[in-house]
Chains A and B, each alone.
Chain A
Amino acid sequence: GQNIDQPTEMTATEGAIVQINCTYQTSGFNGLFWYQQHAGEAPTFLSYNVLDGLEEKGRFSSFLSRSKGYSYLLLKELQMKDSASYLCAVRDTTGGSYIPTFGRGTSLIVHP
């Protein structure tokens, strides 16, 4: 199994940049995902990292360091609609099936 830690809540200002950190411990790492979940809705895929480094996708970027068990999601030019929960998920080998395990999520509040 694994432990996944991320801050419970963060606040930021519209137009700013925010970094959401995720640390994990796992025995069979096979990729890290970030998902966005608006209140009452389903999680939606944002990014995927399996090798060390930065993956950029528009206003969102995600970084991974496998040796440190660390990832972050960087959101630039924040918009009000970015207010949501951001879930870090680690894919691990469990009995031959690669199961994504989720952290508890970071609730991001963007204010004007």
Chain B
Amino acid sequence: DSGVTQTPKHLITATGQRVTLRCSPRSGDLSVYWYQQSLDQGLQFLIHYYNGEERAKGNILERFSAQQFPDLHSELNLSSLELGDSALYFCASSVHGTEGEKLFFGSGTQLSVL
């Protein structure tokens, strides 16, 4: 168990809908990263938050948005869903130490858009 909690584990929805994925980082970790993993693209960086502030954006679509709340949990909102958005979405929190800033991943949310 990494200590990072993601809900829900599975989500099945229809095209055009909106969903919210939730992530709670490990206790004490201030950073939250969101990644999307699909079979053909691998693990793609979406967005990074640190202590409530957006720090970096990757290949995140305009239909997607995220935020990190004062209690440090984060939500990823996906709207106007398309079939191609079906993927495994991971969040990760990080700690900086002698092993660099290694990531601890949640178990992921498997999103299926039908």
- Give the dominant DSSP class at B's interface: strand
Q: Which residues of B contact A43 (CB under 8 A)?
A: 43, 90, 103, 105
Task: Tell whether A91 pairs with B100 under 8 Å between CB atoms, given A41-B107, A42-B106, A42-B107.
Answer: yes
Task: Tell whether A97 pairs with B50 under 8 Å between CB atoms, given A42-B108, A104-B42.
Answer: yes
Q: How many residues of A contact B (CB 8 A)?
A: 25
Complex formed: what's the CA distance from A13 to B47 in Å?
39
- B110 to chain A: closest CB distance in Å? 8
Q: How many residues of B contact A (CB 8 A)?
A: 24
Interface members, chain A 77-103 (any B CB < 8 Å): 87, 91, 94-103
Interface members, chain A 57-71 (any B CB < 8 Å): none
Interface members, chain B 32-55 (any A CB < 8 Å): 33, 35, 41-45, 48, 50, 55
Which chain B residue lies CB-closest to A31?
A: B100
> By the criterion CB–CB under 8 Å, are A48 and B102 in contact?
yes
> By the criterion CB–CB under 8 Å, are A98 and B101 in contact?
yes
> By the criterion CB–CB under 8 Å, are A50 and B55 in contact?
no
> By the criterion CB–CB under 8 Å, are B56 and A97 in contact?
yes
Query: What 10 pairs across the A-B complex have the smallest Cβ distances?
Result: A104-B42, A97-B56, A42-B105, A97-B55, A102-B43, A48-B100, A48-B99, A31-B100, A45-B102, A43-B105
> By the criterion CB–CB under 8 Å, are A99 and B108 in contact?
no
Complex formed: what's the CA distance from A96 to B56 in Å?
8
- Answer whether residue B58 sits at the interface, using C-beta atoms and an 8 A cutoff: yes
Complex formed: what's the CA distance from A97 to B103 in Å?
14
- B7 to chain A: closest CB distance in Å? 14
Complex formed: what's the CA distance from A94 to B43 in Å?
17
